[in-house]
Amino acid sequence: MLLKEQNLMNESSLPEFLLLEFSNVRELQFLHFFAFLVFYLAAVAGNLLIISAVASDHHLHSPMYFFLMNLAIGDVGQVSVIYPQTMANSLMNWRHISYPGCVAQVLFFVLFAASDFSLLTVMAYDRYVAICKPLQYEMLMNKQACIQMVIAVWVISFFYGVLHTGGAFAPSFCSNIVNQFFCEIPELLKLACSDLYRIEIGVIFLSCTIGLGCFIFIVVTYVHIFKAVLRIPSMQGRQKAFSTCLPHLIVFSIFVFTGYFAYLKPTSNSASQLDLEFTLIYTMVPPLMNPLIYSMRNKDIKHALSKLLGLSYPPFFFLKKCILRNSMIRDKV
């Protein structure tokens, strides 16, 4: 095995990479497999339910839910690019990923992560127009404009993924051992043995600059939203606006800051527990939290899901109906 790895290190073009093991203990490998399986099924099921609910209920054919459906598609893609490979490696006690497989993993992960980032930015703008400029909402966020925004998001994200993939794999590699559980760009750059890796470093810094601009835009947008919300006379209206906007801002902040740490941290030749933890956070938290934020706290989504799953009268709805009926009977008496 060691001889094989040494031979691979001496080649400029590697046929495969070796990914980081979570543990050498077989029992812990099974534990990692089941933990990732639970997360993966929860994230995929939650996002697929949102996609199905929005697609099947014509009441949800509005800009906010259209963007939400595309966000869910990106989240399903993001976890599906990484975690099935990771689960298979843990289950089969296997560390290998082919060179083309690593290229594809980088391309599609960056594509889906960039689409998530862009869609969260677009959704912030949508909420800004809806709350701060309600009279102009129909004009600014009409069907054609929304479709154009989403097409632009996916096209730009694809070319963004191609740009990063080209930069990451432009240099030759002196080693095939990746100190991460998937082909993460910063870890790949540590293996480079030519100056061409500087191309990708430049692309990363450009991306971080654009990302910081989007983050500032979102923060400014939410400042205006919160000012407008505080002027709403109805306490219920304020709570509804805050319940949508605050979780959105929290998830976006987690996505940005953990991603920045993973891509801008000082380079080290050895993997650290902190590197692994931050990578798990920015790859796990947004895809898992988005369905919870936009389904559990949204009456329209819950109603569409109840119809989709054949629950015409969800328990909370039936209980509320019974209370109202009993109250009417008491009033008549």
Measure the CA–CA gap between 37 and 284, rounded to whole angstroms: 12
May I ask the CATH architecture of the domain 2-297? Up-down Bundle (1.20)
pLDDT at 322: 47
Give the other-Cβ count within 10 Å of 98's Cβ: 13
pLDDT at 328: 46
What b/e string do you get for 52-72 counting C-beta neighbours within 10 Å, with b at 16 or more?
bbbeebeebebbbbbbbbbbb
pLDDT at 197: 84
Give the other-Cβ count within 10 Å of 253's Cβ: 13
pLDDT at 153: 96
User: Among 13-22, 71-80, 98-107, 189-198, which is the least confidently predicted range?
Assistant: 13-22
Measure the CA–CA gap between 154 and 157, rounded to whole angstroms: 5
pLDDT at 271: 58
For the segment 237-248, what is each residue's pLDDT rounded down to a tens digit? 667 666 667 777
Q: What are the residue ranges spanned by the domains of the chain?
A: 2-297
pLDDT at 317: 43
pLDDT at 237: 65
For the segment 35-46, what is each residue's pLDDT rounded down to a tens digit? 999 999 999 999
For the segment 155-211, what is each residue's pLDDT rounded down to a tens digit? 999 999 999 999 999 998 988 999 889 999 989 998 988 888 888 889 888 888 888
Q: Which long-range contacts (CB under 8 A, 24 or more apart) does 231-240 make?
A: none
For the segment 259-296, what is each residue's pLDDT rounded down to a tens digit? 888 787 766 655 567 778 888 888 988 898 888 877 66
Measure the CA–CA gap between 24 and 35, rounded to whole angstroms: 17
